[in-house]
Structure 1
């Protein structure tokens, strides 16, 4: 049940971010659900590997390269999901930040 609630929170965060950030397009609610699932899977399986591989660069940039890894994950999700598009790097960066903040705020009500 908690997994389904997390999916709903992520979907709502994606819808909010798509409406707030210019350059982000999510066609429908179904697309937002699919994006939430794909981002969850990519963050679970691929992101830790990328963070370990990028650790030296992340240390040299004092952690700022971590944002580039997040943007890469988001761009990969746009490639995998039809109906989800991001126009540029800055839009992807802001989208990731907004999704994170909104998910955190909504997640506080879960606990």
Structure 2
């Protein structure tokens, strides 16, 4: 359970860094479910919920898409994975449009692709720091 919560926090952190760097990507926490009156806490809750949605998309949809796109990924020597990650980010944008808090991305080609690269790098670093990629007997 702790590992799951850490992964949600890492996803939220990676999305937060991407929204800081890219001007075309934003999180709208205006109508959060738990409206606390504190805008900072509302933003943290929004990033955590969107991180949860992003993690669910990556856990359920991404393996299927990656398997179907395997020939193209091999043909491009793995670079198509960035496009798949950008697609998962856009699917998260679409899914969060039905939630009170929303992730917005203005364009697929530049913003979503660069956001996918940023999210991947930040997630890789954070997973290494928290040790989420290590296998242990106490999972």
Question: Scaled by the length of structure 2, what TM-score is found?
Answer: 0.73
Q: CA deviation at 1:62?
A: 2.3
Measured in 2, the distance between the counterparts of 1:90 and 1:71 equals: 10
Question: Where does the alignment leave 5 or more consecutive residues of structure 2 unmatched?
Answer: 29-42, 132-139
Equivalent-residue separation in structure 2 for 1:108 and 1:79 (angstroms): 29
Q: In the alignment, which residue of structure 2 is the partner of 1:20?
A: 21
Q: Which sits farther off after the overlay, 60-69 or 48-57?
A: 60-69
Q: Identify which range, 41-50 or 62-71, moves more after superposition.
A: 62-71
How far, CA to CA, are the matches of 1:64 and 1:108 in structure 2? Answer: 22
Displacement of 1:86 in angstroms is: 0.5
Displacement, 1:61? 2.2
Is residue 48 of structure 2 the alignment partner of residue 47 of structure 1?
no
Report the RMSD for the aligned CA atoms in angstroms: 1.4
Give the number of equivalent residue pairs. Answer: 111
Alignment partner, residue 86 of structure 1: 105
Higher relative contact order at CA 8 Å, sep ≥6: structure 1 or structure 2? 1
Gaps of 5+ in 1: none
1:44-88 per-residue CA deviation (whole Å, 9 max, x = no partner) reads 111111111111222222222222111111111000103211011
Aligned counterparts, 1:1-111, within 5 A: 1-27=2-28, 28-82=43-97, 83-88=102-107, 89-111=109-131
Higher helix share: 1
How far apart in 2 are the matches of 1:65 and 1:107? 22
Report if the CA contact (8 A) 1:26-1:84 is conserved: yes
Greater gyration radius: 2
Give 3-state SS (helix, strand or coil) of 1:109's partner. helix
Three-state SS of the structure 1 residue aligned to 2:130 is: coil
TM-score, normalisation: structure 1: 0.89
